[in-house]
Every structure is written in C-alpha cells, then in structure tokens.
Structure 1
Amino acid sequence: MTWITVFFFLLILINSVQNKFEEKRNVLMIIMDDFRPAIFAYGDRLAKTPNIDKFVEKSFYFTRAYAQQALCAPSRNSMLTGRRPDTIHLYDFYNYWRTFVGNFTTLPQYFKENGYLTHSVGKVFHPGISSNFTDDYPLSWSNKPFHPKTESFMNSAVCPDGSGVKKKNLICPIRVHSQPLQTLPDIESANEACRFLKNNKKQAKPFFLAVGFHKPHIPFRFPKKFLGNFSETDFDWKISPYKPLDMPDIAWNPFTDIRMRDDFANLSIPLFGPIPKEKAIKIRESYYAAVSYVDDLFGKILTEVNLENTIVLLTSDHGWSLGEHGEWAKYSNFEISLRVPFILYSPEFQLKKRKPIKHIIELIDVFPTLIDLANLSKLPKCKTNKKYLKACVEGKSLYKILKNNSKGTLPNIALSQYPRPNIHPKLKSNTDKPRLNQIKVMGYSIRTNNFRYTMWIKFTPKNFTRHWNKIYARELYDHRFDDEEAINLVNSSFYKQTLTRLENKLITCFSK
C-alpha cells in the first residue's frame, strides 16, 4: 500500500467520522403533567412504571430537578423559552409572552430555524391565550399542532357513579369504550406520536417532536384496568393529614380544584382540611394508577423511536402533593410541588448502566442542554438590562455534566416562586391561581444542596416590583434530616447564620 493510498484512506475515515459527528440528531421531548417522581427507578417502591424504568437503565437521570413555578402555563412558558417567570412576567394563564413582554425565541422555534421539522402533540405549551390560542404556531412548529378530539370532554360529566349517572368526579376510573369517541386524550396523543415517528424514520430532515400527556393531572380519568396494579392498603401513608403548626398560612393552598369536583363538593372540608382518610387513600391510589397509564403509553411511543439517532427527554411541568403538609395540589414552593423527573438519553453517550446525577438543575436548563446535545449553535446568556433579546437563555447547559460527570463546575441551586393574592388563604378567593392584577405577595424560594429557604414578600404587579424589605413570612427547611419539609427552622437560633446567608443569596440571585 503506497503512502498516497494510506493518505486517501485516512481522509475518507476522517470525513466519515466528522460527518457522523455533525449529523443532526432527532429530538423527542415528552412532558407529563403534574408528575412528581412517582417512578420505581427513582426509589418510589409503590410505583408501577416498567417502561420508564427500562428507559432509565440506558439514560442519565437527575434526582434533583426543579420547576420554576408550580403551575402549568408559567412553568411551560419558562421551560420552553429558557427564561424565569420574573423575566417573562407570566404567573397565570392569561397573557401571551410575545405580545405581553417580548418576542422571545422558543426551544422548538430554535430547532425549526436550524432546519428541523418541529411537531407538537397534546399539551406542550398550555393551550389558550397563554400560547396565542395556537400553541405558538406557526412560529414554533412546522405543522399545525395536534390536539386530541377528546380534549373537549376532559372536564365533562363522563364519570359514571354507582347509579349510572355521569358526573364531574375527581376519581374516575373508566372503561375506554364507554367514553366519548371511545378513547381518551392521551391515547390519541400516543397514537399521533407513533404515526409521526413511523412516517419520519427515513426522512432526511431531522425532527423535534414534543409530546405532552395530560395525566396524571386531575381529574383521575384513566382505564380502570390500571387499578389492578395496586391495593388500597398501600396508600394509607403514615403522614399527618394536618397543616404543620409552624408552616405560615401564606404557604398554604386550599386545593379548591379538588373541592369543586362532584365527588368532593358535599364533604364540607374546612379551609385547612383534613379530607376524610378514605378519600385520601383513593386519591393516592388513583394518582399512581394514572401514572401507570401514561407509563404504558410512553412505552408504546418508545417502540417507534430509533435510539441510534434520537435524543429523548422525559420530564414534567411540576410535581403534585398527595397529602404532604395536608395539601392536595401543586400551587406552592414546597419540594413536593417543584421537584420533577428529568430523564435524558443521548446516542452520544453509550451508558453501560443508568447514571443517577444528584446535581441540582432547573427546567430552564432544558433549552441550552438540548441544543448542545443536537450540536446547534449556543445561545448567549440573558444578562441584566438585556433580558429582552429575542434569543437568549437564563438556564445552563448540562452537557459538561453529562460528558464528564463534573461536579461543582455549574451552579448547584434552583430558584422557584409562587404568587398569592392574600396574606391569608381564603376558600372564596383565587388563592391557588391568582390573576396577575390580583397578586399582592410573591414567595421566592431557593433550593441549595442542604436547604430550602423561602421568603414571602410584598409584590406590586403593576410594575413587577419586589419589596424585599416587606416580608410577610419565611420558611427554612434542612434536607439533611427533613426531606418532607415538615419542620420550619426559621426561628431557630442555631440556624441564624445559615438563614442570613441564604437570604442574601436568594435576594442576589433573583435581583440579577
């Protein structure tokens, strides 16, 4: 073999490797709704999630990933624009960021602008005015977003009671053929995702496919067969059904959307609860059955995915409380409402076993991480007084952590917030979901390696002013012995220096 032959052989080899590296990977992003990490592989031994568990075996999974606000529309807007709620000023469902604040580039829009076919299935952006009644089409999506026909029945009277009368119940196990159009929204979404994946297996153009499941969000309407995975005795948890004594009233949410359901409306539940024990057990059982239901649909979608050239992310918009602190909802700054699953697979990393990562991350990290994994051009960080750049992100890319398992090289904190219309919760007010002009208090929360610290301060929505000197309540929880955040240590002299340090850090981080 002459040196010329060797040279050309090496040149072909180098070009082949380079082309493979530069090949654009497909991206599949799956967003569950109200999904705390009720996953067996995450250590929840009650969960029946065989498909997610199997996916975890070949993936990175972050055990401490956090939403920026525990409410659907603000969380999704934040995640899909890569910006914090205080930047996009969207704390409710009633404004569209492009016309209200700025024409910010979204995650799917960035992929579309870089030559990707982008497609939305189900609940990705929150539907309605918060995404311009179009799911931000055509700016974010190449095709008109797919919405299941049965979405229109999600809160209808379709739950048969014992006498055959159909009601708007919270707990609603059903037989699928008995439902309108003989199907359910998430089944329709899974079928559409499978159709899209089958049709694009041999397409030259890479795709960004986002699939949003509605479950395990209430009402708990799911195929009855998934109740067979559980026993009611599994869900008689030994936690107090009452609000902790040292929990400030302003941190409480009255879970009004539970109270208004037909099967709960006549229980006359007091403002601070508790709900009857047998109802608590039923809610927990139904939540876990709904999780098993979407786990089954997730497995069906994965069978159509070519993992050799597809990045896959499974996450949620926020968590959900199953009686912790006596609450049954999200709408708070507690760990249980903010912590979400974050399971990430990339063909770039051939893992021999699953890789748990304890580094604290945020949902605003999704945007920069996925474009890094897809080898797209990086976006600049949004900086002070330049927050209205069309294309920038406030999150951090997790690529270095994935590649080097590096620790300490990236910020190890999470920032979250939640608004309130009153200092004290009320049943006949919008305590859980205040509109922008109703907000009087904002709870700002910082999660560090060992602590969660939350300040509830005066907030002026007219000009989005934080009044750090007007504090209504504070919370400090030490996760070294209190993962349930049941013991508020804010008045403990032992933690005085810790509290001062965290308060300074929180104010600094939110004031950038």
Structure 2
Amino acid sequence: MRAPSLLLLLALSVGAAGRLNVLLVLVDDLRPALGCYGDPLAVTPNLDRLAVQSTLFSRAYAQQALCGPSRTSLLTSRRPDTTRLFDTGSYWRQAAGNFSSLPQLFRERGYYTASMGKVFHPGIVSNYSDDQPYSWSEPPYHPSSQADKDAPVCLGEDGKPHSNLYCPVDVSAQPQRTLPDIQTVQRAARWLQDRSGRAEPWMLAVGLHKPHIPLKMPWQYLNLYPIDSVSPPAQPTRPAGLPPVAWNPWSDVRHRDDVRQLNISFPYGPMPGFFARFVRQAYYAAVSYVDELVGQLLEALATAGHADNTVILLCGDHGWALGERGEWAKYSTSEDATRTPLLLHLPSRSGSLAGFRRVSALHRLQTRPVEGGAVHVSTPVELVDPPPAADVVAACDAPVAAAAVAFSQYPRPSVTPRADSDQPRLRDVAVMGFSARSARYRYTEWVRYDPATMRPLWRHLVADELYDHAVDPLEAANLAQAPTA
C-alpha cells in the first residue's frame, strides 16, 4: 500500500467521532538531500526530528519528473498514461476522465479541506482553479509574492538585479518584503489555530515552492554551506553509454541569466566546475530554508493542539539532479530525477509531536544529521496507488504492497536532444521512456509513441538502459549497452 490510499485509509479507519486530521506537505523539486536520508552535507534538523517519529520510505519514486503530471498522479492516484497529462497543457477531468482527487475523497467523507501554496499545479493543469469546486471546502490560498517568482532580484557580479539560477536574497529588500513560502506557512499557522476546538475533521495541504528554481532563499542559509565544504558532482559528465534520447539537456536552467553567460554548448556541454559547486550550495541552502519552514508548520500544529490527532504525510513531487551524469534539474527517468523523500507520521504509532518546537538551523551550524526514521521501509514504492482495499485494518498493518517495483516515465519529442526535450508539448511527443525500479536494478525502455492515439509502440524500441544499483548508484554504467562476452 502506498502513499495516497494509505493516507486515506489511516485517516478514515476509526469511527467518525475519532477521525484523524491530515496534514499533507508537498515540497517542490525535493530530492532526498536530508540528514535523515543519510546526506552528510544536509542541515535539516526539523525534518530529521519528524523522521524520527515517522515511517521513512527510502525508495519512493514519482511517476513523472515534472510538477504538473506528478502532482496530478499523486492527487488522483493515476499514472500519466491514464490522466493523459505529460506536459502542463491540459486538465485531466476534461482530457481523460472525471476522476476523484484525494482531497475530494476526504471532503465527500465529511472532512473540511483546504489548500495553501502549490498543491495542484497552477494553470490549466488544475483548470485555473486548483480543481474547484471539487477538491476544497474554501478557496485555495496562493501567496501574493508568488507573482514575483521570476522577478530580476538576484544580484549579479555587476551589482545589478538579474533573473538568475543562483539567487540568495535579502528578504526585506524583496518587492513585498517577504517570500512566497514564508507567506504560505504564516497563513497555514493561522488556519491551524482557527481550527482549534472544532469537531469537524480536516485535511490541510501545504505546498512549498522551494527548492524549485530559481534557487531563491534568504542569503543567511548559505552560511550553513561554506563553498569549500560543497563537493562537485561525483559523475559530472555524460556517461558514454547514456542514450541520446535519455539525456536531459536542462533547458530551463540554461535560460537563467547567470547560466546563459557561461556559454555552455548545447546539448552536452558540461557546467563549469566552479559554478556547479555554487548551484549545489544554493540547492542545499534552499532545502535548509524549507526545513525551517516545515519546523514552523509543525510547531504551529503542536501549539494549536492538533499534534495528537493528525496524520502527516510529507513528500516531494519528484527529485532534482545536481550535476550527476552531467544533468541538472529533473525531466528524466533517472534515479536523481524520480526519487524523492516520503515521510509518514502516525500519532498513535510513531509517538506524539505535542510540544514540538522548531530548531533553527541558522543557530546550529554544527547540527549533526539524524539518519533514518522510526520505521525504515526500503522496498520501492510509488506516489500512486490502486483504490483503497476493503480490509482497512490489514492495509494499515501492512503498509507496503508486495510488488517491489516502482514505475516512472518521461516523454521526448525526438531521439536526439533538442530545445524542447525537457518539456515537449503533448502533440509533439514522439518517444516515451518507461522505467522500472526494483530494489537493485533500474531498467528503462525508450519506445516510439503515437500522440494521436496516446499509445506506446512497443515494437519500435529506440534505446534501453539497465543499471545495477548495488555497484552503480549514480547510474553511470549502462549495462544494456555493455559488450557481451
């Protein structure tokens, strides 16, 4: 049993009078760069403390490494092939079917549901309404400062503001003297306080935008990661055995002002080593910024008196490559693009978060990572699941399905990289990569695809990949193209 249906089962498995509240936290572009996932560089004390009282899924995978399709899959528990959403240009209820969403199921069962920040992908993907009137009991909240997300506020070497990838900022100097995720958490904290004492169970979904690019965070978080402590990517160039169709040319990163000035050749030119370390530094700083905000949210939950009766599910919508195999961003079927953290806190089984107080990483520069969770699940799991099982008790007692393979996919417009390879429009999809991740191996087939019928042409194999994670965690040696004896 995996994330969405498990969440519904756990919350509804007791009588109506004792139903558990639900806090769903979605973090944009979050790879497992956390202390609790064994990352020695990460300074994430609040997420580590949550993990100590949670089930930690160490091999959780998104179904497509792009925000719109991934969030639609997670929130409808249907794969991109079913939602017919591989890009950000359509609404699943119109393109594929009037499927029920996870918050809709809660709402139909007597829950008060609310959305704050980036939960559904904005725009046509959620019908310009965050899937209203189906999913939420009140109008979804979006922070006003999100309108300035790509504003030229990143100071360059010339002392002028730019739209950069690397973007530490002085919050007080921002257009609204704040940042979107700060506004979202402040709003959620007030909402939690307002729900105190009410008998009606609730589901609150909070979506944080960082560490999505631009890598914009309060500049103080850079102090946690002196540049000399940030290592370059272990495998900084494209492996010889990586098929051209599998390559993620990170086009959106290239469009940023500071990256454009580097004059990196398309599609395989490597990012200069000095700049690669700055990007990695900024990503980790943005993750620590997110950790601080999650700490504030958990403290607000405890202060409002909800800690003992609230299930918490925290995950990313997919991962993000930090220079591994020469790739940056997502847009791939690779381990770095598809793997994301997944933490599930059950107050009756994992211990209470009552009295939780956030730990400011900025005042604990020597914070030692806490690795692991109360329960550690290493079986590969997905961010989708079949409809809830009839046997609720059995499902709760056995939270991981017997199937030990997680599936992901990604579309391409051609067999060789081009400018729109990262985000092709639906009508331009010519190849689809289907990837299966077991406990040890990842196998991917890239096959021809017919966008008119929305069907893969399995007999037309373009390329394949096979990686043995027991000896090759970076997926640098493609065994499918290795010479045979």
Q: TM (normalized to structure 2)?
A: 0.89
Kindly indicate whether residue 477 of structure 2 is the aligned counterpart of residue 487 of structure 1.
yes
Partners of 1:238 and 1:337 in 2: CA distance? 15
Partners of 2:98 and 2:464 in 1: CA distance? 35
Give the Å deviation of 1:22: 5.6
Residue matched to 1:30: 25
Kindly indicate whether residue 289 of structure 2 is the aligned counterpart of residue 299 of structure 1.
no
Residue matched to 2:364: none
Kindly indicate whether residue 316 of structure 2 is the aligned counterpart of residue 316 of structure 1.
yes
1:403 pairs with 390, 394, 397, which one?
397
- 1:263-315 per-residue CA deviation (whole Å, 9 max, x = no partner) reads 11122101202111111000000000000001000000001222210000110
- 1:18-74 per-residue CA deviation (whole Å, 9 max, x = no partner) reads 987861110000000110000001100100000000001111010000000000000
The letter for the 2-side match of 1:269 is: I
Partners of 1:67 and 1:19 in 2: CA distance? 29
Residue matched to 2:115: 120
- 1:193-220 per-residue CA deviation (whole Å, 9 max, x = no partner) reads 1111111021111111000000001001
Partners of 1:131 and 1:449 in 2: CA distance? 34
Give the Å deviation of 1:247: 0.6
Kindly indicate whether residue 388 of structure 2 is the aligned counterpart of residue 358 of structure 1.
no
2:101 pairs with 94, 103, 106, which one?
106
Residue matched to 2:203: 208
2:445 pairs with 451, 455, 460, which one?
455
Give the Å deviation of 1:354: 1.2
Whether the 8 Å contact between 1:235 and 1:284 is mirrored in structure 2 is yes
Kindly indicate whether residue 413 of structure 2 is the aligned counterpart of residue 438 of structure 1.
no
Give the Å deviation of 1:258: 1.0
Residue matched to 1:188: 183
Q: Give the 3-state SS of the residue equivalent to 2:296 in structure 1.
A: helix
Whether the 8 Å contact between 2:442 and 2:468 is mirrored in structure 1 is yes
Residue matched to 1:383: none
Give the Å deviation of 1:355: 1.1
Residue matched to 1:12: none
- 1:345-368 per-residue CA deviation (whole Å, 9 max, x = no partner) reads 012314597111111110013x86
Give the Å deviation of 1:232: 0.9
Partners of 1:57 and 1:321 in 2: CA distance? 26
Residue matched to 1:81: 76
Superposed, 1:62-81 pairs within 5 Å as 62-81=57-76
CA-atom RMSD, angstroms? Answer: 2.0
Whether the 8 Å contact between 1:311 and 1:346 is mirrored in structure 2 is yes
Residue matched to 1:473: 463
Give the Å deviation of 1:403: 2.6
The letter for the 1-side match of 2:409 is: Q
Whether the 8 Å contact between 1:159 and 1:168 is mirrored in structure 2 is yes
Higher relative contact order (CA 8 A, sep 6+): 2
Give the Å deviation of 1:240: 3.1
Partners of 2:277 and 2:396 in 1: CA distance? 39
Figure out how many residues of one structure are paired with residues of the other and give that number: 448
Whether the 8 Å contact between 1:60 and 1:402 is mirrored in structure 2 is no
Q: Give the 3-state SS of the residue equivalent to 1:364 in structure 2.
A: coil
2:278 pairs with 272, 276, 282, which one?
282
Q: 1:289 to 1:19 in 2, by over 3 A?
A: closer
Q: 1:117 to 1:40 in 2, by over 3 A?
A: same
The letter for the 1-side match of 2:128 is: F
Kindly indicate whether residue 192 of structure 2 is the aligned counterpart of residue 197 of structure 1.
yes
2:222 pairs with 200, 218, 227, which one?
227
Q: 1:19 to 1:30 in 2, by over 3 A?
A: closer
2:154 pairs with 156, 159, 167, which one?
159
Which shows bigger deviation, 227-236 or 84-93? Answer: 227-236
Q: 1:72 to 1:165 in 2, by over 3 A?
A: same
Structure 2 portions without partners, runs of 5+: 1-12, 353-372
Q: 1:494 to 1:65 in 2, by over 3 A?
A: farther
Give the Å deviation of 1:160: 2.4
Residue matched to 2:404: 412
Residue matched to 1:51: 46
The letter for the 2-side match of 1:323 is: G
Structure 1 portions without partners, runs of 5+: 1-17, 369-377, 381-396, 496-512
Q: 1:238 to 1:280 in 2, by over 3 A?
A: closer
Q: Give the 3-state SS of the residue equivalent to 1:467 in structure 2.
A: strand
1:423 pairs with 405, 415, 427, which one?
415
Partners of 1:126 and 1:336 in 2: CA distance? 21
- 1:101-130 per-residue CA deviation (whole Å, 9 max, x = no partner) reads 111100000001111110000000000001
Whether the 8 Å contact between 2:130 and 2:140 is mirrored in structure 1 is yes
The letter for the 2-side match of 1:470 is: H
The letter for the 2-side match of 1:301 is: L
The letter for the 1-side match of 2:133 is: P
Q: Give the 3-state SS of the residue equivalent to 1:303 in structure 2.
A: helix
Partners of 2:318 and 2:78 in 1: CA distance? 16
Whether the 8 Å contact between 1:32 and 1:215 is mirrored in structure 2 is yes
The letter for the 1-side match of 2:288 is: S
Q: Give the 3-state SS of the residue equivalent to 2:26 in structure 1.
A: strand
Partners of 2:392 and 2:435 in 1: CA distance? 22
Q: 1:483 to 1:322 in 2, by over 3 A?
A: same
The letter for the 1-side match of 2:283 is: Y
Q: 1:420 to 1:121 in 2, by over 3 A?
A: same
Whether the 8 Å contact between 2:321 and 2:330 is mirrored in structure 1 is yes
Q: Give the 3-state SS of the residue equivalent to 1:298 in structure 2.
A: helix
Q: TM (normalized to structure 1)?
A: 0.84
Q: 1:399 to 1:284 in 2, by over 3 A?
A: farther
The letter for the 2-side match of 1:420 is: R
Q: 1:493 to 1:425 in 2, by over 3 A?
A: closer
Partners of 1:379 and 1:402 in 2: CA distance? 10
Residue matched to 2:369: none
Q: 1:345 to 1:400 in 2, by over 3 A?
A: farther
Give the Å deviation of 1:492: 4.3
Give the Å deviation of 1:234: 2.2
The letter for the 2-side match of 1:430 is: D
Residue matched to 2:342: 342
